[in-house]
Amino acid sequence: MRAFRRTGALALSALSLGLVAGCGGSGVPAQLTTGATDQAHSASTATSAPVSTNPPPATPTAPKTKLAFIRDGHTEHGDKVHVEGRFGPILPPGESDVDQSALQSCPETDGRELIRRLDLTFAITSGLSGDVRVSPPVVSVNKEEGAEEIRNLNFVVAAPEGTSCHKGLGEETGFMIDLGTMQPHERRSLSVWAVMIDAITPTDPHPSLAKLKAQEWLMTYPQVLVDGALAIGGGTVYVTE
C-alpha cells in the first residue's frame, strides 16, 4: 500500500493505461486504429481512413463496455483534443482478452490479479492536424502526503511497437505512445488493461464489485500532447467505477 495523490498531474508511467480485467485464455492485443467509427471494445488491426472535415459521428458503445469518462482539453497554441474512455467488465485472468504473454511479464503477477480493459479514443477537434503523443494511465505516488492508501495497479498496453506491461505504482517514467499525425476530427484508439494486483485472495476468491469499489483502485487520466504541448493532463478516476 502506498500514499497517493488523487489530483496529481498525469504521470508518464510505465504504460499504466489499463484497467482491471481477467487473464488467461487466448489474449488478442488491440492495436491503434484510425477511422471515424471506432468500436471501443474491439481489438482490431491498425487501419487508415480518409481524412474527414466533418465532425465524426458519435462513437457507439461496444457490448460490455461502459463510458467511464470524457475529457476535453487544449494546448496554449489552440489545438483542441477530445478523449473518451470506456471500461470493459472486471474479469479473472483466464477470461480476459489481455495478451497473456505481456500479462505474465507484469511484476507481481501470480494468479491473484483481476483485469479490466480500458479503450481510449482520441480526436483533434480544432482545425489543423497535429502530432499526438499519449502517456497511458498511471498511479501517481506522493510519498510525502500519506493521506490515503491505494491498491497497486499495473497496466498492459497495446502500442504500435507491441504489447507490454508497465508497473503503474511509481513516479513519472517518461513513457509515451506516439499516435502519429492526426487530422481534424480523425479518431484513433488505444487499448489498455488495468491489472489489479492481489484483488483475489484465498478467503475471497470471487470478490464482489461492491467490495472492489470500496477499495482504492485509482489511476490517472491519460496525458495528451499535441506537437509537444500539453493538451490534457491531471485528474484521477477509479478503475472500479
For residue range 84-126, what is the model confidence (pLDDT) as tens digits? 999 999 999 889 999 999 999 988 888 899 999 999 999 999 9
34 — pLDDT class (breaks 50, 70, 90): very low
pLDDT for residue 12 = 30
Non-local CB neighbours of 238 within 8 Å, separated by 6+ positions? 213, 217, 218
Q: How confident is the model at residue 24 (pLDDT cuts 50, 70, 90)?
A: very low
Residue 66 clears pLDDT 70, i.e. is over it:
yes
Instruction: Flag whether 57 is in a domain.
Output: no
* CB-based contact 191:158 (threshold 8 Å): yes
The answer to whether the beta carbons of residues 45 and 31 sit under 8 Å apart is yes
Q: What pLDDT was estimated at residue 86? A: 95
**Per-residue pLDDT for 145 more than 60?**
no
Cα–Cα distance for residue pair 25/42, rounded to 1 Å: 16
What pLDDT, in 10s, does the model give residues 186-225? Answer: 999 999 999 999 999 999 999 999 999 988 898 889 999 9
Whether the predicted pLDDT of 36 surpasses 60: no
**Rounded mean pLDDT, 11-34:** 35
Q: What is the pLDDT of residue 170?
A: 56
Question: Is-contact 134 18, C-beta < 8 A?
Answer: no
Query: Considering the domain boundaries, does residue 99 fall inside one?
Result: yes
Query: In this structure, is residue 136 part of a structural domain?
Result: yes
Q: Let me know if residue 40 belongs to a domain.
A: no
Helices (H), the chain: 100-104, 209-213
Asked if the structure places residue 52 within a domain, the reply is: no
pLDDT attached to residue 161: 80
User: Of 99, 95, 119, whose CA–CA distance to 18 is shortest?
Assistant: 119
Please check whether residue 214 lies inside any domain of the structure: yes
pLDDT for position 140: 64
Residue 46 in any domain: the answer is no
Question: For 150-184, what is each residue's pLDDT tens digit?
Answer: 788 899 999 888 898 888 765 555 678 999 999 99
pLDDT of residue 231: 96
The one-character DSSP state at 72 is: E
Structural domain count of the chain: 1
> For residue 156, what is the DSSP state?
E
Looking up cell 477499495, which residue turns up? 215
Q: Which comes out higher in pLDDT, residue 144 or 203?
A: 203
Name the residue range of residue 133's domain.
2-34+65-238
The C-alpha atoms of residue 15 and residue 36 are separated, in whole angstroms, by: 25
Round to whole Å and give the CA distance between 139 and 157. 15
